[in-house]
């Protein structure tokens, strides 16, 4: 098979890491008159926070090593305009910037603001973030603006690739009740069935890249689709099983983190045609 990227590489990569954030609303910590409620709420939310956060993915998927080599080699940073990372610092439990306004998943409680009354049977809290829902929606809009702006500039949407980067757990959770079925899967490659779908050659290249390095790879399972924009810029989702890079019990990175991070720098180089 001829390599698609040798025919036409991408002018720019936009690395999107929306679910690595760990910041929770300040009122959880700063309202002494609600200290008991805050304690009970944090106790309730903790398992969801631990399970659903894409821990360390903002660092794991960063192109810092690639940019560092670039600076050391050429004495400047010629890649700085070609690689952009957009992260969200707040917890997805407070504001999920991957959702759409009026998202169909709102019916299950997984809209922009999670509604745990729908997610958990007999939940005592209802819509947990009622105090700060307006703030969450404002942060959501600000993030979408930053994301869209990252796609602008000297590079056209045609020459840009969005990498929507996440992790997933092999432990059953509210987002994936059958997660244990994917314990042997390492990498999920996701895409949309629209104009943003990558070419077949690109999909196979990314699949084979990970496969050749010992990872088990699948398309659109356990999750599918990828972050996109109104230009329908080419978009590819990368979901990494947490067992590849961290210990879920201790929330610490393993040796696999450094291996995978280095491999991602190589993949970025291929995508940029370096």
Q: What is the pLDDT of residues 111-126, one digit of tens each?
A: 998 888 888 877 765 5
Q: Assess contact for 89 and 23: CB atoms under 8 A.
A: yes
pLDDT greater than 80 at residue 260: yes
Spatial CA neighbour of 163 closest among 21, 9, 14, 267: 14
- Of the pLDDT bands very low, low, confident and very high (cuts 50, 70, 90), residue 84 is very high
Whether residue 222 has a cis bond before it, omega within 30° of 0 = yes
pLDDT greater than 80 at residue 99: yes
pLDDT greater than 80 at residue 175: yes
Provide the whole-model pTM: 0.89
* pLDDT value of position 6: 39
Residue with tokens 């910590």: 29
Alpha-carbon span 161 to 236, nearest angstrom = 7
């Amino acid at each position: 098979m001829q390599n698609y990227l040798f025919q036409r590489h991408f002018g720019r990569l936009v690395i999107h890491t929306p679910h690595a954030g760990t910041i929770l609303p300040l009122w959880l910590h700063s309202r002494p008159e609600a200290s008991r409620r805050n304690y009970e709420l944090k106790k309730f939310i903790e398992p969801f926070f631990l399970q659903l956060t894409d821990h360390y993915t903002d660092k794991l998927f960063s192109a810092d090593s690639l940019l560092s080599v670039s600076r050391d080699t050429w004495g400047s940073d010629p890649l700085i305009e070609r690689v952009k990372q957009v992260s969200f610092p707040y917890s997805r439990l407070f504001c999920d910037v991957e959702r759409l306004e009026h998202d169909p998943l709102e019916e299950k409680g997984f809209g922009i603001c999670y509604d745990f009354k729908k997610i958990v049977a007999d939940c005592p809290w209802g819509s947990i973030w009622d105090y700060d829902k307006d703030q969450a929606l404002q942060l959501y809009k600000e993030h979408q603006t930053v994301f869209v702006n990252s796609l602008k500039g000297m590079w056209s949407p045609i020459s840009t690739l969005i990498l929507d980067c996440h992790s997933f757990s092999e432990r059953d959770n509210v987002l994936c009740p059958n997660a244990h079925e994917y314990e042997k899967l390492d990498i999920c490659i996701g895409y949309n069935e629209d104009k943003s779908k990558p070419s077949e050659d690109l999909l196979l290249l990314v699949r084979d890249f990970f496969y050749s390095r010992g990872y088990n790879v699948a398309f659109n399972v356990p999750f599918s689709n990828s972050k996109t924009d109104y230009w329908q810029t080419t978009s590819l989702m990368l979901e990494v099983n947490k067992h590849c890079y961290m210990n879920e019990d201790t929330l610490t990175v393993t040796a696999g983190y450094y291996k995978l991070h280095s491999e991602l720098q190589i993949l970025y180089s291929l995508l940029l045609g370096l």
